[in-house]
Homo-oligomer: A and B are copies of this chain.
Amino acid sequence: MALDLTAQIALLRNVATRLRIDSIRATTAAGSGHPSTCCSAADIAAALFFAEMRFDPQRPEDPDNDRFVLSKGHAAPLLYAAWAEAGAFPREDLLRLRELGSDLEGHPTPRLPFVDVATGSLGQGVGAAVGIALNARRTGSAYRTYVLIGDGESAEGSVWEAAAVAAHYELGSLCGITDVNALGQSGETAWGHDLQPLRRRWEAFGWNTILVDGHDISDLLGAFEAARRVTDRPTMILARTVKGKGVSFVEGKGGWHGRPLKKDEEALALAELEAQFVPGPGEDEAAASIAAPPRTSAWVEPASGAEIAPPAYAPDASIATREAYGTALVKLGTVDPRVVVLDADVKNSTFSDKFEKVFPQRFFQHFIAEQAMLGVAMGLASRGAIAFPSTFAAFFTRAYDFIRMAAISGLNVKMTGSHAGVSIGEDGPSQMGLEDLAMMRTQPNIAVLYPCDAVSTERLVAGMAYHPGPVYLRTSRPKTPVIYGNEESFPIGGCKVLRRSENDVATVIAAGVTLFEALKAYEQLEQAGIAIRVIDLYSIQPIDGAALRQAAAETNGRLITVEDHYAGGGIGDAVAAATTGVASVQKLAVREIPRSGKPDELLDRFGISASHIVTAVKG
C-alpha cells in the first residue's frame, strides 16, 4: 500500500493512540501492570510495527520476518496491543491480560508465537537481539532485528556486554531504540532527560547513534531509515519520551510506575486519548500497511540430527571430559548446521576451540562477558540454532539470571561448565564450580548431566543437543580413564550400575571425578571383604529414581553419595529426593569454603576421596 507521508503519519499517530488506549484498558482490566511505560513507547512501537518492520503478522515464525525484542518487558501490553492491531489475534483478548488462562502474561514469554525470548528481567534484550541478528548470518536471511530498551535498564552491565559484542561483529542489521522517559521504578534515572551521557556511552561502545523526539513520528521514521543506511555497525536510536504520554495527569509524573489506572482514572484517560485521533486512514489500513518480508533466505533447518560419529577411544586412554567435549562438538557440528558454539575467552580451557578451528563461522567470541554469551545463545536458539555456550562451571553463576530466563523461555541453550569442583586444585575457590549443579537443577526444565569419562561425554553431548530445552553438562579439569566401551549408550535420565553383587552392604553413588574415588573405595573394601554397589549417576536431572530405589532395596537402604560440589542442592539432595522413605542417604560433599591445594589433597581434605567413602561404608 502506498500512502503519502502525511497520510502515513496520520495513520501512525492514530495507531499510537489506539496502542495507548489498549494498554490502559488492558492494565485497568487486569488491575495491575505498567500503562505509563507503554504510553512513553507507543509512538515508537507504531512507527516500528506499521512502517519500518517487514513481517507477516499471520506467520510470526517466518524465517525472513524482521524481529523485535521488547527488552523493557514490563511494556508487554504495548507489545500485545501492537500484534492485535496487526491482526495477529482479536483485540478483545487484550482484556484478558495477566489472567491465568491467557498467554498474554504480565511480561512476555515465548508461549506467544511472536515472542522469541522471555523478557522482564531488565537488561537482557540486547543480548538476545544480538543473537537473533547473528542468526540472520547463519541462515543467510536479510531480516533486520530491533530491540526496544528502557533508559533505566541501561544501567545493567549486561547491556554493555552485548553492545560490545554487537559492535565487534559489525551488526549493521541490528537497531536499538532507547525509550528515554527519564523515570525508573523508584525515582528518576541517573541521567533524566539528558540524552548526551547515553549517546556518549553507545558511541564509546562502537554504535552509531541517532537522537530523536520519541513522540515525533516523522523523526522516528527518519531515524529508522538512517539506521538502515549504516551497515557496518549497529545503531541505537535515543528517543526522548514522556512517561505516561497522552494522559495529562500521568505524563512525566513519578508514582505511576507499575500502577494501572483506576476505573474513574481510566475514563478520564480514554476521553483524553480519543480526542487525540486525527483525520486519516482508518483502523483497517494499519494492518494492511505492514510490508511482507522479502524472500531472502533459502534456509531450511534440518528436521533432526543426522548420525553422529561414535566415540573412538582406546580402552586404556586417559582424557579429561572437558577435552572430550571439544571433540564431541566437532562431530556434532559436522552433521548438524544448527550447532553453534559460544565462548567467553576460555576456549582453550573448555576445549571449545576445537570447534572454532573447524567451523569458525559458527563460533562466536564474547571476550570475558558471560552474560553476553548467554544472551546471544538465547537469541540464536530462539531462531532455530542449537547453541552451546561453555565456560568454567563457576562462571555460569555470572549469567544465572540469563539461565533462569532461558529456562522460562524453554530455549535450546546447551551449557557446558568445565573446571568443576575442588579437583581443579591450585587455582583456589574463585575458579571452582561448587554450586553449579544446585543452580541448574533447581530450574525444573534444565537437564543436568555429569559424565565421568570421554565416551560418556561424547554420547551426552550428542544427547543434549537433541534433548528439548536447556541442558547443563558438567565437565572436569583432570584427566580421567576411559571406562566405557565406545558403543555404550547414555540415555538422559539413566544411570550405570558399575559394581554389583548379591552381598552389597551399601550403594555408593557418584559422578564425574568422584566416580573414580568410588571405584577405588570399592577395591579397598573388596580387599577387606566388604562388597558395595557403585552407580555412575551421569544424569542428575532427570534422575533414574527406579534404579536408585532398587539399589536401596538391595543394599540395606544405605545410599552414600559423593560429589565434588557443595552439600546443598546437588547429587546428594537429588538422590535423597528420589529415594525418600526407602533409603538413608549419607552425603559426602564439600561442606565449607575450600582453598588452594593439589587436586588429590583437596578431595581428601574436603571429605570426598576414596578413604572417606571407605569410612562411610564401614561407619
Contact = CB atoms under 8 A, between A and B. Distances in A.
Interface of A: 30-33, 73, 98-100, 102, 105-107, 109, 111, 118-123, 152-153, 155-161, 164, 168, 184-187, 189-190, 197, 200-201, 203-206, 343, 345-349, 353, 365-372, 394-395, 397-398, 400-401, 403-405, 407-408, 410, 425-431, 434-435, 438-439, 441-445, 541, 557, 566-570, 572-574, 576-577, 580-581, 583-587, 590-593, 595-598, 601-602, 605
Contact of A439 (B121, B203, B365, B400): B400
Contacts of A590: 444
Nearest to A440: B568
Given A431-B107, A431-B120, A569-B568, A445 B592 contact: yes
Given A106-B426, A120-B429, A155-B366, 6 more contacts: A100-B605, A109-B430, A120-B427, A157-B160, A435-B439, A435-B443
8 contacts: A106-B596, A118-B429, A121-B398, A184-B345, A189-B367, A400-B439, A576-B585, A580-B585
Contact of A369 (B73, B157, B164, B572): B157
The 9 nearest A-B residue pairs measured at CB: A157-B157, A120-B430, A581-B584, A569-B569, A100-B597, A438-B442, A200-B204, A106-B428, A105-B596
Contacts of A445: 592-593
Contacts of A596: 98-100, 102, 105-106
Nearest to A356: B186
Most buried by B among A153, A371, A426: A426
Contacts of A206: 197
A156 B368 CA distance: 6
B400 A429 contact: no
B444 A32 contact: no
B442 A570 contact: yes
A328 to B, nearest CB: 19
A444 B398 contact: no
A408 B566 CA distance: 13
Contact of A367 (B184, B200, B442): B184
A434 B597 CA distance: 35
Contacts of A428: 98, 105-107, 109, 120
Nearest to A120: B430
Contacts of A401: 394-395, 397-398, 400
Contact of A568 (B33, B156, B441): B441
Nearest to A441: B568
Nearest to A167: B190
A69 to B, nearest CB: 14
Contact of A410 (B105, B197, B397, B593): B593
B155 A592 contact: no
A431 B205 contact: no
A33 B428 CA distance: 11
Contacts of A601: 100
Which of A168, A186, A405 has its CB near the most chain B CB atoms (within 10 A)? A186
A345 B185 contact: yes
A372 to B, nearest CB: 8
Contacts of A184: 345, 367-368
A198 to B, nearest CB: 9
Given A204-B203, A568-B441, A405 B430 contact: yes
A572 B122 CA distance: 30
